[in-house]
Structure 1
Amino acid sequence: MDTVERAQAQQTIGILSDGKPGHLNQSLGLADALQRLRPNLRVQEIPAMPRSQALVEFLRPRKRQPDVDLLIAAGHATHLSLLALRRAYFCPVIVLMRPSLPGVFFDLRIEPRHDGGRETARCWISEGPLNRMHPSGSRREGGLILVGGPSPHYKWDDAAVVRQVKALCGGRRQWQLSGSRRTPASLMTALSNLDLPGLTVHDSNSLPSAWLANELPKVEECWVSPDSASMVYEALTAGCAVGVLDLPAAQGSRVARSIDGLLEQQRVTSFGAFTEGALPMTPKEPFAEADRCARRILERGWL
C-alpha cells in the first residue's frame, strides 16, 4: 500500500490500557500525534488482561484478526497482553517505557532519557515521557503553579513550598494553583490560608478531569514542584515558560537527573535563578516529543 492509499484507508491504533491515567496519557499522546499527521486514523482503547489470561492467550494458536494496525502501551501490567494481542493482530507493538521483559520481544520501545537506555533501531530515547499536550494558538498573561507531594525522588518540605509560592505571587501576574493526589492536606490548607492578591488556590479533587489539559496551553508561565516530572514535561509540551521549585533531591534519583538535565539545557528556570532576577522563558523551539516520534513511526511505514 503506497502513501496515498494509507492516508485514505481507515486504520486503527489499539491503545492497551492498565487503567492508570498516567500510562494512558502517554499512549494517547502518541496516538494523538499520529492522528494529527493521519487524520483518518481511528483509536481504540483495549483493557489489559490479567497476567494469567494474557499468558493463556499468548500460548493459544491464533488466526490473523485484521482489526488493529498498531498497538501502543505503557505500564508493566500491559506487557504480556501486548505480546498476546500482537499474535492476534499480526501488527507492530510499541511500549512507552523500559519494559520488564526483554526488549527484543517488542517491535519498538520509546524510553524516557532518564531511564538510562541508549538509542538503537528498536529503542528510541525521548526527552521525558510522552503526553497529550499541544500548544494553543492564543495565550493569556496568567500563570499556573502545580505542586505535587512526597516522593522517593525529592525531600518534601511544606514550608519551603509555601515560601516559594509567596515569592512568586508578587503581583507580576494572576496565578492559579493546584495540588495533586500526592499533595499533603496540610500544605493545601496552608496555601489556601495565604490569601495573596492574584492567587487562586484550587482543590484538585473538585476540578474537572480535563482542567489541566485545558489550562496549560492557554497560560504563559507555569511553575512546578520537581517531584512532578511528568507535569514539567507537559508544561514544556504545552509551550509554557516553565519554572521549577527548589527541593533537595534524593541521591541517585533518575527523576532528579532528568530535571537537572532540563536546567542545564536552560529549558526550565530554577527558583534559585528566579530569586536572582531570572524569569522563565518561552521555549524558542517547540517541545514536541510525541510529534517527533509519530513522524518516525510513519517513516517506518507502519501506518
Structure 2
Amino acid sequence: MDLTAEAARLRLRVVTDGRAGIENQALGLAEAISRLAPATIEVVRVVWQTPFDPLPADWKVPAMLAQGHEALAPGVDVWIGCGRASLPLALAVRRQPCAPFVVQVQDPRLPPRRFDFVVAPAHDGLKGGNVFEILGAPHRVTPARLAEAAPAFADRLASLPQPRVAAMIGGRSKVFDLTPAHAADLGRQIADAVVAAGGALLLTFSRRTPPEAEAAMRAALSDTPGWIWDGQGANPLFAFLKAADHVLVTEDSANMATEAASTGRPVHLLPMVPRRPSPKFARLREALEASGAARPFDPALPVWTYTPLDETRRAASAVLEAFAARG
C-alpha cells in the first residue's frame, strides 16, 4: 500500500437517518466528491431515542442517541449531513477542536451560518454566503452507475419492444397525494400511451406509494407489456433508466425528477392530487421545464433532447473549492 497516497485521500463521512431518499442525497454528493478527488467514504446512520426524537436540534445532545455515536468520532475531513436527524450532530461536530468541514444537504431550517457549507435546492429559496443552490437534489445516478447496473437485468429487458418507458411513481406527502382513483386514472393514461407507441413499460413504486393506490395502478396496467417491479430482490431502477427511451415521474419528488433529468431522456411529469398549494414545487417544475429536461406528460410521448443535468457534480466541485479555501 502507498501510505503517502492513502494519507492524501479525503476522509468523507455521510450522516443521515438511513431513509433512502435522504441518504442517497448525502451519499450521492460524497460519491461525486470522490470522483473529483481521491477519497474514502464512511456512512453513519443515526437514530435518536424515541422520547427525544421530536425535540428541536438545539435541545438534543449525543447522550440521547440510540444509534450512530460514531458520527462524532474524529478523523474525518468533510462531514456531510442530510435530514433532520443529522442536524444536532452537525452542530456538535462543528464545535469540536479541529472540526471537519461540515456540509449540510437540504434546507436545514436553521441559519446557514451555523454550518460551513449548505447545498440546498434552488426552489427552497434559501440564501446565504455559504449556500450553494442546485436544481433539484443531489443523487447517485451517473452514466457509469447505470451502465454497471444494466447487465444484471439484461436478459429480461432485451426482449422488450421499444420505445421503453420507465415510470417512477411516488406517493403521499405534505403537498401531494396519490389516491386510488387518481392512480387508476394515471395507470390508464400510461397504458394507453405505451400500447399506442408499441412499446414496453418499466415501472417502480416508491416507499411512499399508498398500498391502495399501488393496487389500483397495477390493475389499470395489468395488460400493458413490460415489467412492473414487485419490490422483491435487487431494485432494477438503474437498469430501467439505462434502458428507457422516456422517463415518467410523478411531480411529488425532487429526488426522482432530478435523477430522471440526469439521464438525457425526455422526462414527462405526471400530475398528482394537490393537498395544499406549494410555490416551492411550482418553482422546481418551472426550473426543470426551463432546463429543457422536462415537460408535462403527453400521452403521444414526443421525443426531445437536452443536455443532461449534472447538478451533483457541480455541488461537489463547489464543496471542494470551499473546503480548500478554508485551508
Shared fold (TM-score, shorter chain, > 0.5): yes
CA distance in 1, matches of 2:64, 2:190: 53
2:77 match: 69
2:304 match: 281
Report the alpha carbon displacement of residue 20 of structure 1 after superposing the two structures with TM: 1.9
CA distance in 2, matches of 1:291, 1:6: 23
CA distance in 2, matches of 1:161, 1:184: 14
- Which of 234-243 and 192-201 deviates more? 192-201
Distance 1:6 1:115, change over 3 A: farther
Q: Percent identity?
A: 26
CA distance in 1, matches of 2:129, 2:100: 17
Q: CA deviation digits over 1:273-299, x for unaligned, max 9?
A: x24x561424x2231111011112222
1:32 aligns with 2:35: no
1:130 match: 138
CA distance in 1, matches of 2:121, 2:170: 20
1:233 aligns with 2:258: yes
1:113 match: 122
CA distance in 1, matches of 2:308, 2:76: 31
Aligned with residue 266 of structure 1, among 264, 287, 292: 292
Report the alpha carbon displacement of residue 251 of structure 1 after superposing the two structures with TM: 4.8
Aligned with residue 206 of structure 1, among 213, 232, 235: 232
Report the alpha carbon displacement of residue 265 of structure 1 after superposing the two structures with TM: 4.1
> SS state of the match for residue 286, structure 1?
coil
Alignment coverage as a number of residue pairs? 285
Any conservation in 2 of the 1:72–1:96 contact (CA below 8 Å)?
yes
Any conservation in 2 of the 1:145–1:176 contact (CA below 8 Å)?
yes
Any conservation in 1 of the 2:11–2:40 contact (CA below 8 Å)?
yes
Q: Report the AA paired with residue 39 of structure 2.
A: L
Aligned with residue 100 of structure 1, among 109, 122, 139: 109
2:248 match: 223
Distance 1:6 1:199, change over 3 A: same
Any conservation in 2 of the 1:217–1:239 contact (CA below 8 Å)?
no
Q: CA deviation digits over 1:124-174, x for unaligned, max 9?
A: 111011111112586985221122223332353223212321232125222
Any conservation in 1 of the 2:193–2:301 contact (CA below 8 Å)?
no
CA distance in 2, matches of 1:95, 1:113: 15
Report the alpha carbon displacement of residue 245 of structure 1 after superposing the two structures with TM: 1.4
CA distance in 2, matches of 1:160, 1:171: 17
Any conservation in 2 of the 1:79–1:101 contact (CA below 8 Å)?
no
Distance 1:201 1:266, change over 3 A: same
- Give the gaps of 5 or more residues in structure 1: 58-63
Q: Report the AA paired with residue 125 of structure 1.
A: E
CA distance in 2, matches of 1:56, 1:186: 37
Aligned with residue 316 of structure 2, among 270, 294, 301: 294
- What TM-score does the superposition give when structure 2 sets the normalisation length? 0.76
1:61 match: none
Any conservation in 1 of the 2:187–2:218 contact (CA below 8 Å)?
no
Distance 1:228 1:298, change over 3 A: closer
Root-mean-square deviation (CA, aligned residues, Å) is 3.0
CA distance in 2, matches of 1:163, 1:44: 44
- Give the gaps of 5 or more residues in structure 2: 53-59, 66-71, 151-157
Q: Structure 2 matches for 1:8-47, cutoff 5 A?
A: 9-38=8-37, 40-47=38-45
1:181 aligns with 2:203: no
Distance 1:56 1:229, change over 3 A: closer
1:195 match: 222
1:60 match: none
Q: Report the AA paired with residue 225 of structure 1.
A: T
Any conservation in 2 of the 1:222–1:235 contact (CA below 8 Å)?
yes
Report the alpha carbon displacement of residue 77 of structure 1 after superposing the two structures with TM: 1.6
> SS state of the match for residue 42, structure 1?
strand
Q: CA deviation digits over 1:205-262, x for unaligned, max 9?
A: 3252x43234323423210111233211111123332111133545531224312332
2:153 match: none
Any conservation in 1 of the 2:10–2:40 contact (CA below 8 Å)?
yes
